[in-house]
Amino acid sequence: MLKKTKILIIGNGFGGITALKNLRKVFRGDKTIEFSLIGEKNYFLFTPLLHEVATGGINPMNIVEPIRKIFGHCLKNFYLGKAEKINFKDKTVQVNEIVVSYDYLVIAPGAETNFFGTPGAKENCFTLKSIEDAIKIKSHATMQMEHASLVQDSIKRKEILKFVVVGGGPTGVELVAEMEELVRETFSHYYRKEVVDDVSIVLVQRGGELVPQFGAKIRKKSLQVLQEKGIEVMLDSAVKEVGASYVIINDNTKIATDTVIWVGGIKPASLDFTEPVNLSPDGKLIVNEHLQLENHKEVFAIGDMALFKDKDSALPALAQVAEKEAKMVARNIKSLIDGTSLQSFSYHSSGNLMSLGQWMAVGEIGNFSFSGHLAWWFWRTVYLSKLISLRKKVRVAVDWTMNIFSPRDISRL
């Protein structure tokens, strides 16, 4: 029987799915190659729109795509579960009770929330990494409104309705902008004015500016837009402690709140290796110019889990980085198998976009930055085009259109 070359991918996010799609392309029709995928969930999650699920703007089902829908019956070996132990010597990965062997391995499990050891943060904060997280945030916000609407004391109501978001990167900024939209366009439709007036949104940012990964113009614009929306932005403010009904900032300011959403950082997903691996201080797998592990050339790492140094600086944790690395890995695995020379990876950003609520977005392509209504249309068009299936593109477009004409759905799931 023909011995097959086994290519195994860990992770079914931006990196893993793009790697598999491109591997199938470069090995089209080659019956000697066998692909396997390990994924914790049976779907792909389009994270860039999670904040809109968390604020009721998009139905949760519309930003996920079943793996089986993406690959159909062509994907014979899909292991649903968490890759637990990676054994480079035996070339195996353990998932649940199954041991899966490989000849080439692509590691793309992404990242998880990093609380940086802040006391009480893990226990008391909401996070925004999964669809469940987003549903929880929306349900909680709605429950806080219900709860507050029965409270007569305005001081108590203000505490119940104070929403604190920790982290002034793009996710935090997009989230607070959408939260304000939810309050203004939807809660104001369903709840008494005095209740809605007691809602406040606070964004806590450790550094002196929001979205430091963007250029100066965008950083300034983001702050201005959020402040105009009435969002309190606390700069140079690191969170020191989080409790069930409070958050303490480094200058000892104590904010009474039932709601702290932590989008203040990520760390690479935890994987268990049977031998020591070359990790960066923050736990990423260090890869060479071909995106391989230096001591295991048949193993590649991409996306949020990998540290590829581009002119000495690390690449940002972005979907486009994971996708570009995945495409390169597919080509390099083909070259390894064919015995041809591998290509070196270099990253060229396609630009960055960020929404700031209805009708407002900012963007940067090279040195050119833009903002406003057109940027917002551009943002929506780009993100719609990035959703995988036509069905989900249409559904998200319908959700967005409905939001313009009617309040969002605040059913508690």
Ligand X SMILES: Cc1cc2nc3c(=O)[nH]c(=O)nc-3n(C[C@H](O)[C@H](O)[C@H](O)COP(=O)(O)OP(=O)(O)OC[C@H]3O[C@@H](n4cnc5c(N)ncnc54)[C@H](O)[C@@H]3O)c2cc1C
167 Rama sector, left if φ>0, alpha if ψ -120 to 50, beta otherwise? left
What is the distance between the alpha carbons of residues 350 and 366, in angstroms, rounded to a whole number?
8
DSSP three-state, residue 319 = helix
* Partners of 300 in beta bridges: 106, 292
**Cβ atoms 165, 264 nearer than 8 A:** no
- What part of residues 190-249 is at the interface with ligand X (CB under 6 A)? none
Return the closest-CA partner of residue 178 out of 387, 378, 408. 408
CB of 172 to ligand X, least distance (A): 9
Instruction: Determine, following the binding rule CB under 6 A, whether residue 363 of this chain makes contact with ligand X.
Output: no
Mask 320-339, x = binds ligand X (CB under 6 A)? x-x-----------------
Q: Which stretch binds ligand X (CB under 6 A): 103-111, 144-152, 197-205, 249-257?
A: 103-111
- Tokens for 409? 């759905």
How would you classify the pairing of strands 92-95 and 98-101? antiparallel
Using CB atoms within 10 A of its CB, is residue 255 exposed (0-12), middle (13-18) or buried (19+)? buried
Q: Which of 23, 33, 39, 202 binds ligand X (CB under 6 A)?
A: 39
Using CB atoms within 10 A of its CB, is residue 178 exposed (0-12), middle (13-18) or buried (19+)? buried
Q: Which stretch binds ligand X (CB under 6 A): 24-32, 99-107, 234-242, 319-327?
A: 319-327
Closer to ligand X at the Cβ: 287 or 317? Answer: 317
CB of 42 to ligand X, least distance (A): 10
Closer to ligand X at the Cβ: 135 or 256? Answer: 135
Instruction: Determine, following the binding rule CB under 6 A, whether residue 264 of this chain makes contact with ligand X.
Output: no
Site size for ligand X, by CB under 6 A? 33
Closer to ligand X at the Cβ: 55 or 124? Answer: 55
Q: Name the phi and psi angles at 262, rounded to 5.
A: -100, 110
What is the distance between the alpha carbons of residues 313 and 217, in angstroms, rounded to a whole number?
22
**Cβ atoms 211, 222 nearer than 8 A:** yes
Mask 269-288, x = binds ligand X (CB under 6 A)? x-x-----------------
- Tokens for 188? 């104001």
Using CB atoms within 10 A of its CB, is residue 176 exposed (0-12), middle (13-18) or buried (19+)? buried
- What part of residues 43-62 is at the interface with ligand X (CB under 6 A)? 47-48, 50-51
Mask 75-94, x = binds ligand X (CB under 6 A)? -------xx-----------
- Entry field: residues in the chain: 413
CB of 246 to ligand X, least distance (A): 25
Instruction: Count CA atoms closer than 13 A to 135's CA, side-chain side.
Output: 11
Q: Which of 75, 238, 319, 337 binds ligand X (CB under 6 A)?
A: 319
Instruction: Determine, following the binding rule CB under 6 A, whether residue 268 of this chain makes contact with ligand X.
Output: no
- 23 contact partners, CB below 8 Å, separation of at least 6: 7, 9, 33, 35, 330, 333, 334
Q: Which of 56, 110, 167, 264 binds ligand X (CB under 6 A)?
A: 110
Q: Which of 20, 100, 108, 375 binds ligand X (CB under 6 A)?
A: 108
Q: Which stretch binds ligand X (CB under 6 A): 38-46, 69-77, 177-185, 195-203?
A: 38-46
Mask 7-26, x = binds ligand X (CB under 6 A)? ---xxxxxxx----------
Instruction: Determine, following the binding rule CB under 6 A, whether residue 128 of this chain makes contact with ligand X.
Output: yes
Cα 308 to Cα 58, 281, 287, distances in angstroms: 34, 13, 6
- DSSP element (H, E) containing 331: helix 319-338
Q: Which stretch binds ligand X (CB under 6 A): 153-161, 251-259, 314-322, 360-368?
A: 314-322
Q: Which of 317, 361, 362, 387 binds ligand X (CB under 6 A)?
A: 317
Q: Interface residues with ligand X (CB under 6 A)?
A: 10-16, 38-41, 47-48, 50-51, 82-83, 108-110, 128-129, 171, 269, 271, 303-305, 317-320, 322
